[in-house]
Chains A and B, each alone.
Chain A
Amino acid sequence: MSRRVAGIDVGGTFTDLLLFEEDESGSRVRFAKVPTTTENQAEGVLQAIHAAGVTAAGLDLVIHGTTVTTNALLERKLARVGLVTTAGFRDTLEIGRRTRPRPYGLFGVFEPLVPRDLRLEVPERMNAAGEVVTPLDEAAVEAAVRHLLESGCEALVIHFLHSYANPAHERRAGEIAARLWPNSYVTLGHALLSEYREYERGTTASVNAAVQPVLDRYLDRLVQGLRRDGFTHELLVMNGNGGTIAAPLAAREAAKTVMSGPASGVIAAAVTLTQSGVGDAVTYDMGGTSTDVALISGGLPEVSAELTIDYGLPIHVPMVDVRTIGAGGGSIAWLDAAGMLRVGPNSAGSTPGPICYGRGGTLPTITDANLVLGRLDAAKLMTAANPVSVETIRAIFEAILARPLGLSVDQAAAAVVALANIHMVGAIRMVSLSRGRDPRDLTLFAFGGAGPLHAVALAAELGIPEVLIPARPGLTNALGCLVADLRQDFVNTVNVALDVVEMAAVHRVLADQVKRGVAINAAQQGEIQFTEIRHSADMQFRGQTHLIRVAIPDAAIGRDTLQSLFEEAYFARFQIRMPEIRATLVNLNTSVTGRRKPFPISSLLELSANTGDAMTARTGSRPVFADGRWADTPIFRREALSVGAAVTGPAVIEQPDATTFVEPGARMRVDAFGNLRIMTLAGLNQ
């Protein structure tokens, strides 16, 4: 009895596949990396399956992470959406909440996802208690829906004020629309999240409607392609909450797939860390134009329902809380008018990209600096279509940075890397401190193409004792697909003082959330080994606006327990006690996770029961600039490093998908799971 499961992640540049095979003789892993087919991502997915040396017909399960909805949103290639809303509130999506794109500067524009001529009002109104103030004018709903259909809308949003308190009008309008609308692209505002704040809920609903047809068509093409190749099983799609959902259900709540890519990376990190015995970490995924950072606590990624994907585009559904920093390998180094060295925020992106890509880039970037310093292999430059020599890159550094700064080229390149690191350190600190975590208590989990190059220096600067680099840093997102569980998240707003809230109602909300999650996962019952339920509450002191998330250990929780859990969580975060002030229960949250059979991460590398001697993996050496001087630095081949192998920096560890730099003095060893564990000086001195 054999079984093959494929995790496939479509990224901006590459489509990655990880295949796990099990049969009587044991288990194996296969990889494939093919260029992403931007126009139709499905082609790349099918190519990746072929490249792995299997056929779709031979697969038992495919789990897919896609950037289709993310790209559609960022490039605004969206469906034409119409909105039916409460009289007096047609413009909620356009006027937002009184903002501007940046704190300083009055330039900038915003276009809502639904233009004003496609936003229609109907008489209806609920109050904050969910009582009807104005009954729903059903004839008006029908007329509005017909008008939007005639105006060429493909998807429809019905968004009424206070529908989180009472969705009756939205549901009724939804029934009327369903009779008239030719497809299933009708999104009710309360359906994705039952949370107050009309702009955020309405925008979330309109994001959903705008990407729904795009995702639906894409998945349709993909499933057809898979079927044509003989695939007879289920396709699962990765959601932004780090869980998967059956493809036929994914498009219904398409907004949840935005951030699917970053979420899968963090899920892979969580699983890798847990299997490796590490609970609390900060993940660090440095790419070409940006860097994603997330926190993992007790083996679980932090989830937030407050993500903003772009200016004016909040998506308030529970998603893995990934924060994006605008610095990547392509960030450009420059001197300001006062001669100060700066790195970013402008980026060379992937076109033209860093100078060393040979695509016409002429400005010094972080990646180029790593190359000048010997951390990246100059020999690989020759694989570019129009190779650029190290001399050319050095000449550019000399002219633009080194000479005006009065530095050598080496010093200038080192300064670029160091300054970039300082900014990333600051951003990582802000991300972790804003969630009440001191980075010194965490492990740095580095992945992505450029993450392992900077990670050790960053960790030292952050006071982080240990860096963990997984076996396949460049395939982490595909791994996330392979290991993700089926997971559904729910948020309901309560917003009542804890001392007067009806606890029976609390218990009812939690039970209902569980019921909904279990029902969705039931579509995939065969994959689920057991179901895990987690409840939490978002709470605050009365008069406060920030929320603290409190884990609820038992769905039948009592009032006093909840109060004291909150007080402890608050103290842990702010070191302040507030016995004089009452607590408010704002939101109740539940995640329902159908656990799949665990994937052994140790199977990612062929870990031969080797000697543990690193020298057998040494492929040579080259000069690398670190700590202000050049030193001949050993180069190791990652695949050849066996369990227990240990090296003291400086050292460069190369593998096809990433390069790791072990800073001087840091100590690397390969753990039993094939991870590189690197102790920084901060760790060694502990």
Chain B
Amino acid sequence: MTVSFATDPLTLAVIEAGLQQVCNEMDLAFSRSAFSPVIAEADDRSDGIYDRHTGSLIAQGELGLPVFVGVMQASTGEIIRLIREGRVAAPEPGDVYIVNDPYLGGTHLMDVRFAMPFFHEGGLFCWLQNTGHWPDTGGMTPGGFSAHATESEQEGLRLPPVKLFKKGILDQEILSIILSNIRVADQRIGDIKAQAAALKMGERRLTELLARYGRDVVESVIGEMRERASSLMRAKLATVPDGRYESEASIDSDGVVNEPLRIALTMTKANGVLSFDFSRSSAPCRGPMNSVFATTLSSVYLAVRHVFPDVPLNAGAFEPLRVLRPEGTFLDARYPRPVSGCAAEVSQRIAEAVFLALVQAVPDLVTAAPAGTSGNFALGGFDPGKGTSYVMYQISGGGYGGNAQHDGLTNGCSTIGISKTTPVEVLEQYYPVLFRRFALREGSGGAGAHRGGFGVHYEVELLRGEARASFVMDHGRFGPPGVLGGKDGAPNIVRVHRNGVVYTPEHLSKDQDIQIAAGDRVEVLTPGGGGYGDPVSRPQSLVERDNLRGYYTQIDSRALWPMASVIENTNLPPYETKTKRP
């Protein structure tokens, strides 16, 4: 293959690496100095460089949260449009716009974006933007994940693009409006400073890069990077045979109306382009499980990137992907539909639909369905021991899908995130709780030639005072699907043990403000991954190994792997946990 280069190949590769480095250093600066643990520890943030005309993605940090793949180009595009229409003030050097409006290319209100126009030699060269998940932006529920919200205003403070910094000076009036409308406001000034400082760092590094290589060269490299990412993605997609592939994924409920929401995907491969049509999906819903189009779009990008991880991240990589705008469905939510669930849950179901379509086309490159829920559990209350109120957040992983190479991973991270769970020892330090168990969820991995990974099973007891428990999870109605003959993973289960009586949420995986008192327990079992391939073809040795390890009960083993002879497990541990298995 012979390729002609507008720029010499070395300069091209070096500037590409240089732009990437600018973004990586912004990511690093942001999370190293952020206060929000969601940003600092969970890396729920992203930084990137965007085109001055269209807002399209030039480069994005490698340490950013996967769900933000591509999504920030939409919000940059909206800011540019509003400036052009004269509805937002024109950019000047030193300005930083703040925006969290989901309907302007966003996700949910908690993802707060800072956008900085980058000037070079007197003219606008590009935009720098970052997103950070703030722990609170006001609204009816601390943290913003209300399972019962029916309109945007209940979800929190919505900011259109406004200049929080004007010519480098923080606008104290806008700041005071924001701080007066959110919880734990005193720590947010730390995040605001960190978020702006990360952009300043990007500005310095990008200025150095331009000084070294010159504006014209960098400009032409950016164009070439885009073409090359596009042709690389086309080359990857060449492995997908032409045709139509249909798949479905389903969300338990919207949290308000107890009916499943359907994501129906028709994926078509033709002329080197992969298109995604979600138009047969459910209508907009009352509760917060709507997705704004930008999030729907980025969920598709995210899923494709999980399958083809080595295509460089810029707008070119998305060019061979067409996502038809699913108007009139819950995947194209308009104001004032509530959307808090779109980033954490709906995005993962959209990605699941994409996996289930792609696995039909390229079965060696895609896994069976992963658990695909962030497992958000929030416990808010007053600790009479410490005399303070608190909100404890716990996220959970689940099993990944089996695949052509091996069994699914146990307790994998949500597909849209990279954040770790907080250790039990840390939670018990800060909150009046005691975990009775935090264990692998036996039997949860879907059977298959390669079985799904396992979810987790935890039980946490409130020690003092009273508290309210809320859940935003999914896959409670149906487990993550198995593929090519593999069985589904076990569905999500939530149980609240109150005064000896078991309460199960009506919506299974979503509920809000369940009152509990000292001695009550919350029990969560997260989904296992789907199985891959016919269980009958699973090697006997692996069935025996799993049996020895107690991953499945013998009864389960016999039922799941009928061809394998399951030996009696005489190697049981001398002491079993006292709590009964579900």
Q: In the complex, what's the smallest C-beta–C-beta distance from A436 to chain B, in angstroms?
A: 8
A574 touching B548, Cβ below 8 Å:
no
B322 CB → nearest A CB, Å? 20
B197 touches which of A406, A411, A576 (Cβ 8 Å): A576
A91 within 8 A of B: yes
Tell me how far the C-beta of B321 lies from the nearest C-beta in chain A, rounded to whole angstroms.
15
* Residue in B closest to A577 when the chains form the complex, CB atoms: B193
Q: How far is the CB of B32 from chain A (nearest CB, A)?
A: 6
Q: Which of A534-552 contact B (CB under 8 A)?
A: 541, 543-546
B190's partner among A144, A340, A545, A578 (CB-CB below 8 A) is A578
Q: Report if B387 contacts A (CB, 8 A).
A: no
- Cβ of B426: which chain A residues have Cβ within 8 Å of it? 196-197
Instruction: Report which of B37, B395, B574 forms a contact with A545, defined as CB distance below 8 A.
Output: B37
Task: Verify if B266 is at the interface (C-beta below 8 Å from A).
Answer: no
A115 within 8 A of B: yes
A42 at the interface (CB under 8 A from B): no
The segment out of B250-258, B275-283, B417-425, B508-516 that lies at the interface is B417-425
Residue pair B1, A404 in contact (C-beta under 8 Å): yes
The answer to whether B28 touches A576 (Cβ under 8 A) is no
Q: CA A340 – CA B316 in complex, angstroms?
A: 14
A414, B577: Cα distance in complex, Å: 63
Is B3 within 8 A of A107, CB to CB?
A: no
Q: Which of B16, B37, B578 contacts A87 (CB 8 A)?
A: B578
A104 touches B2 (CB 8 A): no
Select B40's contact among A115, A338, A342, A545, beta carbons within 8 Å: A545
- B410 adjacent to A94 (CB under 8 Å): yes
CB atoms of A544 and B409 under 8 A apart: no
Q: A residues within 8 A CB of B10?
A: 341, 411, 414-415, 418-419
Given A337-B235, A576-B197, A110:B575 Cβ within 8 A = no
Q: Does B172 contact A (CB under 8 A)?
A: no
Stretch at the interface among A61-69, A425-433, A475-483: A425-433
A419-B37 contact in complex given A162-B428, A404-B3, C-beta closer than 8 Å: no
Please report the C-alpha to C-alpha distance between residue A102 and residue B370 in the assembled complex, in whole angstroms: 15
Contact A103 B62 (CB under 8 A): yes
User: Is the CB–CB distance between B309 and A109 below 8 Å?
Assistant: no
A102–B308 Cα distance when bound, in Å, is 13
B293 to chain A, nearest CB (A): 23
Do the beta carbons of B235 and A91 come within 8 Å of each other?
A: no
Kindly identify which residue among B405, B406, B436 contacts A88, using a CB–CB cutoff of 8 Å: B436
In the bound assembly, the distance between CA atoms of A406 and B1 in angstroms comes to 10
Among B24, B396, B574, contact of A143 (Cβ-Cβ < 8 Å): B574
Contact yes or no, A96 B411, CB < 8 A: yes
Q: Would you give the shortest CB distance from A469 to chain B, in whole angstroms?
A: 25
Q: Is residue B363 contacting chain A, with contact meaning CB distance below 8 A?
A: no
Complex CA gap A158/B236 in Å reads 49
Instruction: List B contacts of A339 (CB < 8 A).
Output: 1, 3, 228, 231
Contact at B409–A109, with CB atoms within 8 Å? yes
Q: Note all chain B residues with C-beta closer than 8 A to A277.
A: none
B229 at interface (Cβ–Cβ under 8 A)? yes
Is there an interface contact between A88 and B438, defined as CB atoms closer than 8 Å?
Answer: yes
Q: Counting CB contacts under 8 A, is B174 at the interface? A: no
Given known A-B contacts A88-B439, A337-B231, A406-B5, A143 and B411 have beta carbons under 8 A apart:
no
The CA of A337 and the CA of B436, in the complex, are separated in Å by: 52
B35, B66, B415: the one contacting A544 at CB < 8 Å is B35
Q: Which residues from chain A contact B568 at a C-beta distance below 8 Å?
A: none
Q: Which of B9, B410, B419, B438 contacts A415 (CB 8 A)?
A: B9
* B440 at the A interface (CB under 8 A): yes
* Interface contact B17-A144, CB-CB below 8 Å: no
CB distance from A462 to the nearest CB of B (A): 12
Asked if A574 contacts B33 (CB within 8 A), the reply is yes
Of A98, A405, A574, A575, most B-chain CB atoms within 10 Å? A98
Min CB gap A495→B, angstroms? 6
Most B-side CB within 10 Å, residue of A106, A143, A335, A338: A106
Cα of A91 to Cα of B454 in the assembled complex, Å: 11
Residues of B within 8 A of A98 (CB): 395-397, 411-414, 419-421
Shortest distance between the CB of B26 and any CB in chain A (Å): 11
The answer to the question of A30 belonging to the interface, with a C-beta cut-off of 8 Å to chain B, is no
Number of interface residues of B (CB under 8 A): 100
Closest to B187 in A: A543
Scan B553-582; emit 1 where CB is below 8 A from any A CB, else 0: 000000000000000000101111111000
Is A405 in contact with B421, judged by CB distance below 8 angstroms? no
Q: Check A404–B425 contact: CB distance below 8 A.
A: no
Determine if A198 is an interface residue (Cβ-Cβ < 8 Å): yes
| B430 to chain A: closest residue by CB | A128
| Distance of B114 from chain A, by nearest CB (Å) | 15
Q: Does A618 lie at the interface of the complex (its beta carbon under 8 Å from any beta carbon of B)? A: no
Q: Is the CB of B577 within 8 A of A422?
A: no
Within 8 A of A (CB), among B409-462: 409-415, 418-421, 423-426, 428-429, 434-440, 454, 456, 459
CA of A495 to CA of B187 in the docked complex: distance in angstroms?
A: 19
Q: Are A405 and B32 in contact (CB under 8 A)?
A: no
Residues of B within 8 A of A120 (CB): 573-575
Which residue from chain B places its CB closest to the CB of A101 in the assembled complex? B409
Chain A residues contacting B34 (CB-CB under 8 Å) are: 544
Q: Mark A68-112, 1 if CB is under 8 A from B, else 0.
A: 000000000000000000011111101111111011111111100
A147 at the A/B interface (Cβ < 8 Å)?
Answer: yes
Q: Which residues of B contact A106 (CB under 8 A)?
A: 306, 367, 370, 400-401, 403, 409, 412, 415
Say yes or no for A199: interface residue by CB 8 A criterion: yes
Smallest CB gap from A543: residue in B: B187
Interface residues of B in 448-478 (CB under 8 A from A): 454, 456, 459
Q: Give Cα A429 to B17, complex, Å.
A: 13
User: Is the CB–CB distance between A545 and B41 below 8 Å?
Assistant: yes
Q: How far is the CB of A500 from chain B (nearest CB, A)?
A: 12
- Taking the complex as formed, is B93 at the interface, i.e. its CB lies under 8 A from any CB of chain A? no
Cβ-closest chain B residue relative to A343: B13
Question: A580 in the interface, Cβ–Cβ < 8 Å?
Answer: yes
Task: Indicate whether B4 reaches chain A with its CB closer than 8 angstroms.
Answer: yes
| B81 adjacent to chain A (CB < 8 Å) | no
Which residues of the partner chain A approach B8 to less than 8 Å between Cβ atoms? 407
Whether the Cβ atoms of A198 and B423 lie closer than 8 Å is: yes
Chain B residues, CB < 8 A from A105: 306-307, 309
| Cα–Cα distance between A154 and B550 once the two chains are bound (Å) | 22
In the assembled complex, A564 has its CB within 8 A of some CB on chain B: no
Chain B residues within 8 Å of A161, by CB: 424-425
The reply on B74 being an interface residue by CB < 8 A is no
> A98-B397, A404-B2, A543-B37 given as contacts; is B9 within 8 A of A336 (CB)?
no
Interfacial chain A residues near B429, Cβ < 8 Å: 128, 196, 495
Provide the bound-state CA to CA distance between A396 and B577, in Å.
62
B194's partner among A99, A143, A411, A576 (CB-CB below 8 A) is A576
> Which residues on B are within 8 Å of A, measured CB to CB?
1-5, 8-10, 12-14, 16-18, 20-21, 24-25, 28-29, 31-35, 37, 40-41, 62-63, 66, 184, 186-187, 189-190, 193-194, 197, 228-229, 231-232, 235-236, 305-307, 309-310, 367, 370, 395-397, 400-401, 403, 405-407, 409-415, 418-421, 423-426, 428-429, 434-440, 454, 456, 459, 548-551, 571, 573-579
**What are 13 residue pairs bridging A and B, where the CB atoms are less than 8 Å apart in the complex?**
A88-B437, A98-B420, A104-B66, A109-B409, A117-B549, A198-B423, A340-B12, A430-B25, A430-B28, A545-B37, A546-B40, A576-B190, A576-B194
Query: Other CB < 8 Å A-B pairs besides A143-B574, A337-B236, 17 of them?
Result: A87-B578, A88-B436, A91-B439, A95-B439, A95-B440, A117-B548, A122-B575, A123-B575, A161-B425, A337-B232, A339-B231, A406-B4, A418-B10, A545-B37, A545-B41, A546-B41, A574-B194
Residues of A within 8 A of B (CB): 87-92, 94-100, 102-110, 115-117, 120-123, 125, 127-128, 133, 137, 140, 143-144, 147, 151, 161-162, 164, 196-200, 335-342, 403-407, 411, 414-415, 418-419, 422-423, 426, 429-430, 433-434, 495, 541, 543-546, 573-576, 578, 580-581
Nearest 10 Cβ contacts at the A-B interface: A88-B437, A98-B397, A337-B235, A339-B3, A104-B309, A116-B549, A338-B232, A97-B420, A91-B440, A545-B41
